[in-house]
Amino acid sequence: MKIIAAVELAFVSQKILLTNPGLQYAHQLAKQLVRQDSLYEFWTGFALSADNWYTQALQDYLPARWRKKIANRILTGIGARHLRSTPAIEWKALKRINQGGSPQKVFHERNRIFQEKIPDASLRKSSALIGFDTASWLLAERAGKLDKPFFLDQSISHPLANQKIMRGVAERFPDWGETIEERLPQVLACEHQEYQLATRIVAASSFTKKTLMAHGIDADKIIINPYGVDLQTFHPPESSTPRKRSVRFLFLGLISARKGVPLILEAWRKLALKDAELWLVGSLTESARALIPELPGLKVMGKVHRQDLPDLLRQCDVLAFPSYCEGFGLVLLEALASGMPVITTDATAGPDLIQDGVEGHLIPTGDLDALCAAMQALAQEPDKLERMGRAARRCAERFSWEAYGDRWQQILRDNT
């Protein structure tokens, strides 16, 4: 018993160095590591701790439009003693992109500088490192020299798999002008180094794992850990009053061919549903807007601020997300938590989250007929829609951020 207690105490005392030059969902993992008393430092780009007095001053004195812009950069649950922010590196990168620099080249250089910025002392004092794909090749090498376990958080599919998929999308929807930026050789080499040096690769979906395995990475090295969702922020409407309006489908994400938007438009035109709406919500270019026809029930809303998404989701009934390639697709969990059935493909985290016909529908990627059938079934069977909505919420409750953090803790426990 004393030996077991000593081992458990040794594990609890571990301190994890977490790094991501962007933000994405890394702060959610940082919060969970804080909750478990396992975070040593969280290094990122531009982020502010809600604990700091100057963060409160910014919120008090900045104009409302600027407060909204930085709202997602103010982190709760992560004290200033853990947070290490490098805003200058991020701002310089964004400036270069705004001046016409290649995003791939700029971000690769940003990621190199970011990794070099992290001092040796931080690595030595930590017991293990977690880094994110495309931004960890130097850290993985440094961790190996110090005999520290390194965990690669793989947020997207293998880059060569993504390129192949994008070529197919561009051929099917040439008018949408999907840009296929070939991975630079030096970027591919750095990603390969990350895969080789990682103690374990943690992928968010079985689709991502499949693409990694297809490019020579040992399946035993890859662990699947789906993301989480804030179940308090994203929840079904408070009122249980039966819906009296038409069924409302929602697409939420970048309005592009890769996300399946032209496929949704083909389905909407073909179905010609008389008592239904389709909302397209997300960033879109002028050229993409010009390709969207005027169709009955179709509403193009453009980009909506992150803070407004929970209310938006509660105004809709079904998420239609027929993406051709997703590392995960957080919007799937956000919709499920909001009590919405989802229609999605096998190239997302859908197969890891839902059962076909229970919390929504899983369709083969790019299958127009399957998409039409799924949308029609939910539009014409209100009882089925309500039943699936309740199942969707129950499904989401298994994927809280706390559950995500607990699974990470088990991964660290098993591999350090």
pLDDT for 73: 76
- Residue the block writes with tokens 């979906």: 205
For the residues 231-249, what does the mean pLDDT come to?
85
Task: Write down the pLDDT at residue 181.
Answer: 76
Residue 245: predicted pLDDT: 80
Position 71 scores a pLDDT of: 67
How large is the average pLDDT for residues 106-115? 97
pLDDT at 412 (0 to 100)? 96
Of 225, 198, 90, 80, the C-alpha closest to 137 is 198
pLDDT of residue 238: 86
**Confidence band of 135 (pLDDT split at 50, 70, 90):** very high
* Mean pLDDT for the stretch of residues 315-335: 97
Residue 134 corresponds to which tokens in the numbers above?
């495309």
Q: Is the distance from CB of 405 to CB of 37 less than 8 angstroms?
A: no
| Residue percentage of the chain with pLDDT more than 70 | 91
| b (16+ CB within 10 A) / e for 147-182 | ebbbbbbbbbbbbebbeebbeebbeebeebebeeee
CB atoms within 10 A of CB 29: 26
404 pLDDT higher than 90: yes
* Rounded-to-integer distance, Cα 415 and Cα 344, Å: 33
Is the pLDDT higher at 295 or at 382? 295
Cα torsion for 14, 19, 25, 30, to the nearest 10°? 30
User: Residue range 108-119: average pLDDT?
Assistant: 98
The predicted model gives 286-292 an average pLDDT of 92
State residue 308 phi and psi, 5-degree precision. -95, -5
Is pLDDT at 206 greater than 70 in this prediction?
yes
> Looking at residue 76, what is its pLDDT?
84
Lowest mean pLDDT among 175-184, 263-272, 332-341, 346-355: 175-184
pLDDT tier at 284, thresholds 50, 70, 90: very high
Q: What is the pLDDT of residues 36-76, one digit of tens each?
A: 999 999 999 988 777 776 666 666 666 766 666 666 777 88
pLDDT of 177 > 50? The answer is: yes
Residue 204: name the closest of 325, 332, 328 by CA: 328
Reported as a single tens digit per residue, the pLDDT across 344-372 is 999 999 999 999 999 999 999 999 999 99
Report how far residue 360's alpha carbon sits from residue 341's, in angstroms, rounded to the nearest whole number: 5
Give the C-alpha separation, 33 to 151, whole Å: 14
Average pLDDT, the chain: 91
Chain mean position to CA 308: 18
The least confident of 66-70, 104-108, 175-179, 185-189 is 66-70
pLDDT of residue 327: 94
- What is the DSSP annotation of 94-126? HHHHHTT--HHHHHHHHHHHHHHHS-HHHHHH-
Least confident of 35-39, 69-73, 89-93, 180-184: 69-73
pLDDT at 314 over 50: yes
Which tokens sit at 91?
A: 């701002």
Handedness of CA 371, 377, 382, 387 (dihedral sign): negative
Conformational region of residue 226, where left means phi above 0, alpha means psi within -120 to 50, and beta covers everything else: beta
Please list the alpha-helical segments (H only) found in 198-328. Answer: 206-214, 261-271, 286-291, 309-314
Tokens 């750095």, residue? 190
pLDDT of residue 6 exceeding 80: no
Average pLDDT of 295-299?
Answer: 96
Asked if residue 5 has pLDDT above 70, the reply is no
Say if CB 411 and CB 200 are below 8 A apart: yes
Tokens, residue 129: 């490192």
- Least confident interval from 7-16, 159-168, 234-243, 306-315: 7-16
Which range is least confidently modeled, 61-70, 205-214, 325-334, 350-359?
61-70
The burial of 194, by beta-carbon neighbours within 10 Å (0-12 exposed, 13-18 middle, 19 or more buried), is given as buried
pLDDT of 381 > 60? The answer is yes
Residue 314, class by beta-carbon neighbours within 10 Å (0-12 exposed, 13-18 middle, 19+ buried)?
middle
